[in-house]
């Protein structure tokens, strides 16, 4: 188990364009494992390699009530429609913004075994894929804000909510964390 420190929004590594993975070797598998551990600890819905300091085209996604999975060298090849969403990022804890995302996307990538995958996704998964692939291109969700007033600070949770059900309330994309619990936050 290796939980890595999540880089914050001012870290220049988040602005660097990432390199493609040429071979899924032991170091890539280790990276994916560390990213899964880090994501589990932070209770987010997705994490991109630059968020733990590595400029490599690797991201992991963990949708509510589903198994986590990694995407290698992902590219969005098709976007359909537009909708307004609430979004946040583990690299900007405590904030959320209203931005526009596609209604559905098609993503080409490799899975962890190097098999080519084409993912057609909508709603939360589409949003998470766009968000993580943005990270791999040095883009943060705050870049999509139409104006600064579309970003707002989340109110800290009142202490009485820290019951068993409500302890995992850190930010995740789209309002639900990977435990499937409703949350008012985003990744
Ligand atoms: Ni993020």
CATH assignment at residue 31: 3.90.45.10
Domain-located, residue 182: no
| Helix and strand counts by DSSP (H, E) for the chain | 2, 8
* Residue of 75, 113, 132, 146 marked active site: 132
Q: How remote is the CA of residue 22 from the centroid of ligand 1, in Å?
A: 24
| 177 part of a folded domain | no
- List of residues 6+ apart from 54 with CB closer than 8 A: 13, 31
- For residue 184, is pLDDT > 50? no
Give the whole-angstrom CA distance, residue 17 versus residue 98.
25
Asked if residue 107 is part of any domain, the answer here is: yes
Residue 174 has pLDDT above 60, yes or no: no
Q: Distance from the CA of 62 to the center of ligand 1, in angstroms?
A: 13
Considering the entire predicted model, what is its pTM? 0.85
Q: Which of 38, 49, 65 is nearest to 132 (CA)?
A: 49
Give the confidence band of 169 by pLDDT, cuts at 50, 70, 90. Answer: very low
In a domain, 152, yes or no: yes
At a CB cut-off of 8 Å and minimum separation 6, what does 10 contact? Answer: none
State the residue range of the domain holding 129: 12-161
Question: Ligand 1: distance of its center to the CA of 46 in Å?
Answer: 7
Q: Is 132 a catalytic residue?
A: yes
Percentage of residues in the chain having pLDDT higher than 70: 83
134 occurs within a structural domain: yes
Average pLDDT over residues 1-25: 95
State the pLDDT confidence band at 155, using cuts at 50, 70 and 90: confident
Residue 145 located in a structural domain: yes
Res 69: pLDDT: 97
Ligand 1 centre and the CA of 7: distance in Å? 10
- pLDDT averaged over every residue in the chain: 88
Residue 24 CA to ligand 1 center (angstroms) comes to 23
Q: How many domains does the chain have?
A: 1
């Amino acid at each position: 188990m290796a939980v890595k420190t999540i880089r914050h929004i001012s870290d220049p590594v988040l602005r660097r364009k990432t390199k493609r993975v040429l071979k899924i070797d032991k170091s890539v598998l280790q990276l994916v494992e560390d990213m899964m551990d880090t994501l589990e600890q932070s209770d987010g819905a997705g994490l991109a390699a630059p968020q733990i300091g590595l400029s490599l085209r690797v991201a992991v996604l963990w949708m509510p009530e589903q198994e986590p999975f990694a995407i290698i060298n992902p590219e969005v090849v098709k976007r359909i429609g537009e909708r307004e969403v609430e979004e946040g990022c583990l690299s900007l804890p405590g904030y959320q913004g209203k931005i526009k995302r596609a209604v559905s996307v098609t993503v080409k990538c490799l899975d962890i075994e190097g098999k080519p995958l084409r993912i057609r996704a909508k709603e939360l998964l589409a949003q998470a894929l766009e968000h993580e692939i943005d990270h791999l291109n040095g883009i943060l969700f705050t870049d999509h804000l139409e104006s600064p007033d579309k970003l707002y600070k989340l109110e800290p949770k009142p202490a009485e909510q820290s019951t068993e059900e409500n302890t995992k309330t850190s930010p995740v994309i789209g309002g639900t964390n990977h435990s499937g619990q409703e949350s008012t936050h985003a990744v």
